[in-house]
Chains A and B, each alone.
Chain A
């Protein structure tokens, strides 16, 4: 039985300029200890998917239109607030993109770090501080004893992200949702943070949902990858298959536009056009207007995510009909 089972999640934002379908029917499951990559460009709905699961979508303007997210018999999307609070921060934790703004600048690191423990466990402040200190050491902060009572501005970006990770893992959680945790960091610091997440995951045996737009990061870290486009999952496969045998035209196009693999001098492949406006109705496949393989049929018929091999599912009508 999967640890987390999300079915038909739809999240919309009701704005003055229309109803924006940020997440439009997303279903997936996460096994115990698994690392799932969620990849897509800005506006594809990766972050809103995570925020919806954590109950962090501001309502209004946001609204969860449908769906269930079953975690240990509890539907995260429809349970009582108290029930969600007991899970969030204890059994499911999240780290955010920007370590500069996600710590409270007025509070010492120690207070922020042990807050989840004081809320979720019966523990004395001294014991909580001892665990906080151990956690800071585990995430590789030198001289943790002296740094424990420092303020966030005394830390660099990479250090702050380590503090965020320490805070998320202190309970320790069964699922860690990491929303672009390394995007704001330098490559050398990114490498440190990725190694750290891998190491702690092995030690704690937790499942990770890793949101990123960087296919390179996914390839080293994740067991399985889901590619999102316009609020939907267009392809999901184990990491090897996704990189070596992508089937959906969008996944292929995304890979071909990465510069690192192409020799210099050759034009990079570019995807023509722009992602669709999610506040307008989309007929057929959302990627069809930009897809080199699309036919009239694609523009009329809504594709569903369906298995093309036992380990790979693709939401492309022409792949499903074995035409491409």
Chain B
């Protein structure tokens, strides 16, 4: 396996919660990301899944240093970003780019496509001014847009085309890592397929590392090499994408997988669904012990007492559950 390009060690991002009108006082802490360790290799696609509020997007923002890290380190190609100066972080963004969820909100409506794509090229002095137009045309061609649309504004494009523009903008600096935060959830199925194909093709061609954040497991399974499942700020399961989704080990991943509706009436109707009760707990006041225990059908007394660490769960796989082996026995797996 190639050496990791991005490495996270026990990253924590906590937000203080304040209340009081005349005297602001900190009354609590939201542990949005609470001890995440991950590595991503060159050319690898890492899927990051979980329900809303589990800390996926905060983790992305933490990697980009858009929010301050509370503890832990984010290391990009040997450089520790958490201890870097703002000039160094700006330089690191050259290698680290992001694609956002909503292509209707992430493009400036008053800027032409040319202006949007030229801006990073000019700010980071990637090419001399006279070559900018040429490079913009190249970028547009790369994401499957005709360069003749260069002088158009975002509102003249459909959702899928806008997402292509957002991807071209992320590619402008020839980054080594792209973080895509739910890049296809706002798109229709047929358009979603186009964007997924484009992203996989770009990763292969440019040897890009991609962190693909989504809540749709079927999409993640399709595009990712490895997948990390998050619950309430922690990674609960990590491993090769197909393995994790076809044979989940952690009870939360099991429930998540069984909740995906299958587009096949026989399978869908015959399936025994593990319906999770309730909503994810509030990260302001997480349950003691394993954060998943109030919704877990396998929970026992010991799950309320200690926080389970990520432990090996098969080849290249890890899961954070105290009853991992006992559960595997119960469901008749080896």
B265 within 8 A of A: yes
The answer on a CB contact under 8 Å between B261 and A220 is: yes
Docked pose: A81 CA to B194 CA in angstroms: 45
B interface residue count range (under 10 / 10 to 19 / 20 to 34 / 35 or more)? 35 or more
Q: Which residues of B contact A142 (CB under 8 A)?
A: 278
The answer on a CB contact under 8 Å between B190 and A257 is: yes
Given the interface contacts A188-B276, A243-B265, A268-B222, does A260 sit within 8 Å of B260 by beta carbon? yes
B193 within 8 A of A: yes
Q: Which residues of A contact B221 (CB under 8 A)?
A: 259-260, 264
The answer on a CB contact under 8 Å between A186 and B215 is: yes
Q: Which residues of A contact B200 (CB under 8 A)?
A: 267
A282 within 8 A of B: no
Given the interface contacts A158-B279, A187-B256, A189-B279, does A268 sit within 8 Å of B197 by beta carbon? yes
Smallest Cβ distance from B256 to chain A, in angstroms? 6
Smallest Cβ distance from A192 to chain B, in angstroms? 6
Partner of B197 from A191, A194, A258, A270 at Cβ < 8 Å:
A270
Docked pose: A40 CA to B160 CA in angstroms: 16
Q: Interface 1/0s, chain B 243-265, versus A by CB < 8 A?
A: 00000000000011011111111
The answer on a CB contact under 8 Å between A159 and B265 is: no
Q: Write the chain B residue with the least CB distance to A43.
A: B188
Docked pose: A218 CA to B217 CA in angstroms: 18
User: Which stretch, A12-20, A50-58, A123-131, A208-216, touches the partner chain B?
Assistant: A208-216
A42 within 8 A of B: yes
Docked pose: A30 CA to B263 CA in angstroms: 23
The answer on a CB contact under 8 Å between A268 and B193 is: yes
The answer on a CB contact under 8 Å between A216 and B261 is: yes
Smallest Cβ distance from B223 to chain A, in angstroms? 8
B297 within 8 A of A: no
Docked pose: A130 CA to B193 CA in angstroms: 49
The answer on a CB contact under 8 Å between A195 and B190 is: no
B71 within 8 A of A: no
The answer on a CB contact under 8 Å between A262 and B190 is: no
Smallest Cβ distance from B118 to chain A, in angstroms? 26
Smallest Cβ distance from B236 to chain A, in angstroms? 14
B42 within 8 A of A: no
Interface of A is mostly: helix
Docked pose: A117 CA to B275 CA in angstroms: 31
B146 within 8 A of A: no
The answer on a CB contact under 8 Å between A260 and B218 is: yes
Given the interface contacts A41-B188, A186-B51, A264-B241, does A215 sit within 8 Å of B216 by beta carbon? no
The answer on a CB contact under 8 Å between A259 and B219 is: yes
Docked pose: A216 CA to B241 CA in angstroms: 20
Q: Which residues of A contact B300 (CB under 8 A)?
A: none
Partner of A240 from B192, B223, B255, B265 at Cβ < 8 Å:
B265
The answer on a CB contact under 8 Å between A42 and B188 is: yes
The CB with the most chain A CB atoms within 10 A, among B190, B221, B242, B259, is that of B190
B269 within 8 A of A: yes
Q: Which residues of B contact A216 (CB under 8 A)?
A: 260-263, 268
B273 within 8 A of A: yes
Docked pose: A299 CA to B222 CA in angstroms: 35
Q: Which residues of A contact B188 (CB under 8 A)?
A: 41-42, 213
Q: Interface 1/0s, chain A 107-137, versus B by CB < 8 A?
A: 0000000000000000000000000000000
A82 within 8 A of B: no
Partner of A213 from B52, B189, B215, B265 at Cβ < 8 Å:
B189
The answer on a CB contact under 8 Å between B192 and A257 is: yes
A253 within 8 A of B: yes
The answer on a CB contact under 8 Å between B263 and A219 is: yes
A261 within 8 A of B: yes
The answer on a CB contact under 8 Å between A260 and B262 is: yes
Q: Interface 1/0s, chain A 249-275, versus B by CB < 8 A?
A: 000011101111110100111110010
Q: Which residues of A contact B261 (CB under 8 A)?
A: 190-191, 194, 214, 216-217, 219-220
The answer on a CB contact under 8 Å between B197 and A188 is: no
Smallest Cβ distance from B198 to chain A, in angstroms? 10
Q: Write the chain B residue with the least CB distance to A271.
A: B190
B158 within 8 A of A: yes
Partner of A243 from B189, B219, B263 at Cβ < 8 Å:
B263
The answer on a CB contact under 8 Å between A220 and B193 is: no
B196 within 8 A of A: yes
The CB with the most chain B CB atoms within 10 A, among A188, A190, A217, is that of A188
Smallest Cβ distance from B240 to chain A, in angstroms? 10
Docked pose: A157 CA to B263 CA in angstroms: 25
Q: Which residues of A contact B217 (CB under 8 A)?
A: 187
The answer on a CB contact under 8 Å between A268 and B196 is: yes
**Which chain B residues have a beta carbon within 8 Å of chain A's beta carbons?**
51-52, 158, 160, 188-194, 196-197, 200, 215-219, 221-223, 241-242, 255-256, 258-266, 268-269, 271, 273, 275-279
- Which 10 residue pairs across A and B have the least CB separation, nearest first? A216-B261, A260-B218, A259-B222, A220-B268, A268-B193, A191-B259, A257-B193, A41-B188, A215-B263, A186-B51
Q: List 12 A-B contacts (CB under 8 A).
A: A158-B279, A159-B279, A189-B279, A192-B276, A213-B188, A213-B189, A219-B261, A219-B263, A259-B193, A264-B222, A267-B200, A268-B193
**Which chain A residues have a beta carbon within 8 Å of chain B's beta carbons?**
41-42, 142, 156-159, 186-192, 194-195, 213-220, 239-240, 243-244, 253-255, 257-262, 264, 267-271, 274
